[in-house]
Amino acid sequence: MAVLLAGGAGFIGTHTAVEFLNAGYDVVIADNLYNSKSAAVRRVEEITGRSVAFYEIDVCDKDALRKLFSEQSIEAVVHFAGMKAVGESVAKPLQYYSNNLGTTIALLTVMKEFGCRCIVFSSSATVYGKSNPVPLFETMPRGECTNPYGWTKWMNEQIIMDACTADPELSGVLLRYFNPIGAHESGRIGEDPQGIPNNIFPFITQVAVGRRPQLTIFGDDYDTPDGTGIRDYIHVVDLAKGHVAAVPYAKKHPGAKVINIGTGKGTSVFEMVNTFERVNGVKIPYVIGERRPGDLPESYANADEAEKLLGWHAEKTLEDMCRDGYRWQTLNPMGYGG
Ligand code: NAD
Ligand code: UDP
């Protein structure tokens, strides 16, 4: 029996593949390499000394999924396959709705045909919207999203919840990720964004290796202790382990369950920059810019549910995240292309 990682060649998927392989699972990856490289899958094999069955397919393509399910014995699906650039989703909403909802519908359809009853989905803290106070609890109402990417997470959650209501044997674990950063400690796999990074951490690592001259901090006049935005950064290896904990939980508990995956601790932009500089002994030049439209002052999780249901909590520190992320960028200054 194997787990299928849909979109598993990407940043979070490759780290999750390593943790499933280390835990003794067989791993099958389906990815169309829209935002990833096949080299990343080879590096997963190199890190673990195990082989991965790789299908270069569009996960919206039900016939391609049927072929995969007929060749492999899939006990659970972890669904990462989606486009994730917030700004691009505003410019290309139809592509985002079509791809991000299409992958979910195709997976659920083919899973049912093949009797696979377990899906773990990559959701996001963005579904909490703007009105909930921090820390964010799973019981809080979902809010209004500010962009099509966020709505695809919201709608995918709804699709999986409705599918679980209609089919009492189906289980769906909706993992609401906070801010995944860092890299595997080997420095062989990590985040490799195309073009200018949207997120702060890969921007910082690219400044650190001289690929970009400086960081722009989006506002220092928020109502936070140092005026900069606060987020719940989580090491990608901790996040990966959360998926390994979610699969046996899902197999025992039919129905839909929402679980935050964060550390429960907020970190400001200044704290992040200072920690990165201290741990790695590098300077991150920065300027203060305008606030980025749509940004919240603060977002961090209450992470108790993950501990209670999955026996999982984050173990790595902000220092680990900074050290491991910098090691990846130093060893691979141009990502997988370099
Ligand atoms: P990523 O872009 O590195 O990985 C996503 C993978 O899905 C890529 O390899 C891409 O090629 C693949 N993919 C996209 N559409 C596909 C399709 N139709 N068929 C086959 N493969 C397809 O992104 P990531 O950072 O690893 O994120 C993984 C998931 O987690 C995504 O769904 C993302 O929205 C979600 N998420 C990410 C973050 C974050 O900050 N990275 C936060 C919250 C949620
Ligand atoms: N941020 C910043 N400069 C950047 C990118 C982000 O100052 O180049 C800030 C942003 O305003 C937010 C925090 O860093 O307060 C995290 O932003 P990111 O895009 O990584 O995550 P998200 O806002 O999606 O949670």
In total, the chain counts a number of residues equal to 338
Closest ligand (CA of 62): 1
Q: What is the pLDDT of residue 287?
A: 98
The alpha carbon of 319 and the centre of ligand 2 are apart by a number of angstroms equal to 18
Which of 25, 96, 149, 233 is flagged as catalytic? 149
The alpha carbon of 77 and the centre of ligand 2 are apart by a number of angstroms equal to 30
Distance in angstroms (rounded) separating the CA atoms of residues 153 and 82: 10
Q: Are 73 and 3 in contact, with CB atoms under 8 Å apart? A: no
Work out which ligand 2 atom sits closest to the CA atom of 197: 8
Residues 104-148: tens digit of each pLDDT = 999 999 999 999 999 999 999 999 999 999 999 999 999 999 999
- The pair of structure tokens assigned to 106 is 């195709």
Residues 188-212: tens digit of each pLDDT = 999 999 999 999 999 999 999 999 9
Closest ligand (CA of 217): 2
Q: What is the pLDDT of residue 36?
A: 97
Residues in a beta bridge with 27? 3
For residue 175, the tally of other CB atoms under 10 A from its CB is 23
Confidence of residue 178 (pLDDT cuts 50, 70, 90): very high
- pLDDT above 90: residue 338: no
Instruction: Give me the residue label for tokens 């993950």.
Output: 306
- pLDDT above 90: residue 337: no
Residues 265-307: tens digit of each pLDDT = 999 999 999 999 999 999 999 999 999 999 999 999 999 999 9
Q: Is 198 in the pocket of ligand 2 (CB under 6 A)?
A: yes
Of all residues in the chain, what percent carry a pLDDT higher than 90?
A: 99
- pLDDT above 80: residue 223: yes
Mean predicted lDDT score pLDDT of the chain: 98
Give 221-228's long-range contacts (Cβ < 8 A, gap of 24+). 221/291, 222/291, 222/297, 222/298, 223/297, 224/268, 224/297, 224/298, 225/268, 226/268, 226/270, 226/271, 228/268, 228/269, 228/270
Identify the residue whose C-alpha is closest to ligand 1 atom 10. Answer: 35
Alpha helices in the chain (DSSP H): 11-22, 38-48, 62-71, 86-91, 93-113, 148-166, 200-208, 236-252, 269-280, 304-310, 318-331
- The pair of structure tokens assigned to 141 is 């109402």
